[in-house]
Amino acid sequence: MLKMDSPGDIFQSRLYRFNRVLLSLLGQWPFQKNRHRRIVFVTVSFLGITQAITQVLALVTLRGDLNATLECIPPLIVDCACIVKLVNLFCNMEKIKILLIHVQRDWQSWAIQSEFEILHKFAETGRSITIGYASGMYAFGCLFPVMAIIPKIIDENVVSNYSTRPVGFPYHVEYFVDLDKYYYPALIHNYLATAIRLTTIVASDTCVAILVQHCCALFSIVRYRLEHIRKSVEQDKELALLEEDNKIYKNFTYCIRKHEDALQFASLMETVYTKAFFIEVGLIIGAMSLSALEATSGSLTPQLAIRHGGYIMAQLLHLFIACWLGQEVIDHSSRVYTSIYRGEWYESSPKSRKLLNMMMLRSISPCTLTVGKIMVLSLPSFSAVVRASASYFTVFRSVQ
């Protein structure tokens, strides 16, 4: 069992340690010291933005070459998505801090052993998602730079077809300096920016994952209390001294409070991420369409196929996780309604049953995470976005 002596202890545990480290590397962990956070954030932002600027300059330089231009756009779209994620974290830091404090409070105030087990189960799931997602994104994301540097390692004299992308560079860049002279400083800058880009995506998305899992845990606690009324009453020491009917009544009032907590938690999450999701989904559609266009071009080599294939897989993983997390919120919030029926409500007094009516009415409409209030994130929306990307790819292919 976890023992917590201070509010921050839960985030020092193995359950959330990886998330804390990832956000701290970007200067976006709400509990960091302000000075340290600002230094890290400015450094990361400077490296990332200067990398994006060099890619924009390369795009301008190559504007007469359609194939090279198409190569420039997908990485630049990813840069835009990273900027959106970083800005969203920065602008909503106080709200994210409120959500994390909510998590701390719930870990300190569980009433029965079953609640602790539910919190632990969902936190473990969040940790597994974090590790799995990070592994996948870093693996797919590293294909671009790794496949770019291999020719340089094998043959130092190999040359590139483009001055904006010397051998070893994963993307087209334009520094307006002699890259033969400043090759290694520019290469290091590129690879550092790539690492920052991947860390931004992983840190932001896994932060959503642990918050969604905690939200689902709150709904599951309510469902357990409703479905196992007798067990809950027996485990809760505060209810042990009350009269029989008062025990059930107090259990139901506890469920209502917890349900309201879960609803507020889900609502605040939606507020934090809905605008960012709107921009990100649009960028993902464009990135996947253009990457697929490059991957099916006649001049594609096996090396480039692997790079673009990894890029597309990373985008699909990114999109799938967001939609799956949205589906989790829908499923767990809507199941409260059926849990009320499954419990031993018939043994309670009319006064207690009236409390359940309130919860049933609120549970009819499930909580959701949306894309700018336009589209609900869910598994059906994942297939819809993939189909949209395929449609745009077909259009681009016909125009090319």
Say if CB 369 and CB 267 are below 8 A apart: no
**pLDDT at site 297:** 67
∠89-328-343 over CA atoms, to 5°? 130
pLDDT score at 86: 94
The pLDDT, as a whole number, for residue 355 is 82
DSSP summary character for residue 162: -
> So what's the pLDDT on residue 197?
92
> CB neighbours (10 Å) of residue 253?
12
Distance between CA atoms of 395 and 392, rounded to whole angstroms?
5
Distance CA(311)–CA(291), nearest Å, equals: 7
Whether 4 is covered by a domain: the verdict is: no
pLDDT, position 300: 62
Residue type, 375: M
Within a domain: residue 2? no
Q: How far is CA 294 from CA 78, 108, 184, 284, 400, in A?
A: 16, 52, 28, 15, 11
pLDDT average, residue stretch 74-79: 87
Which residue did the predictor score with more confidence, 158 or 392? Answer: 392
Q: Is position 3 within any domain?
A: no
> Bigger pLDDT: 145 or 221?
221
- Please tell me the predicted confidence (pLDDT) of residue 6: 42
Is residue 3 pLDDT above 60, yes or no?
no
The tokens describing 376, both together, are 């609900």
pLDDT in tens, 94-117: 999 999 999 999 999 888 899 999
pLDDT per position as a tens digit, 376-392 = 999 999 999 999 888 88
User: How does pLDDT run across 303-325, given as a tens digit for each residue?
Assistant: 667 777 777 888 899 999 999 99
DSSP structure string for 293-348: HHHT-TT--HHHHHHHHHHHHHHHHHHHHHHHHHHHHHHHHHHHHHHHHHS-GGGS
Pick the closest to residue 334 from 220, 224, 227 (CA basis): 220
374 belongs to a structural domain:
yes
Closest CA to 190 of 159, 227, 198, 322: 198
Alpha-carbon span 141 to 307, nearest angstrom: 9
Tell me what the mean pLDDT of segment 31-41 comes to. Answer: 92
Residue reference for tokens 């001294």: 241
- How many domains are there within the chain? 1
Q: CA 51, CA 313: separation in Å to the nearest integer?
A: 23
Task: Look at residue 115 in the predicted model and tell me its pLDDT.
Answer: 92
Please check whether residue 302 lies inside any domain of the structure.
yes
Distance CA 53, CA 69 (A): 15
Q: Is residue 46 part of a domain?
A: yes
Q: Domain range for residue 48?
A: 9-399
Task: Report residue 162 CA to chain centroid gap.
Answer: 35
Instruction: Put residue 370 in one of left, alpha, beta given phi > 0 → left and psi -120 to 50 → alpha.
Output: beta
How much is the pLDDT for 299?
62
DSSP single-letter state for residue 370: E
Residue 270 has pLDDT above 80, yes or no: yes
What is the pLDDT at residue 4? 42
Tokens (6 digits) for 263? 């609803």
pLDDT at 133 over 90: yes
Residue 375: phi and psi, rounded to 5, are -130, 140
3-state secondary structure of 376: strand
Residue 147 resides in a domain: yes
pLDDT digit string, tens, across residues 229-249:
888 888 887 776 777 668 888
Residue with tokens 């309130």: 358
In a domain, residue 259? The reply is yes
343-376 pLDDT per residue, tens: 777 777 788 788 888 888 888 889 999 999 999 9
Q: Which helix (H) or strand (E) holds 371?
A: strand 370-371
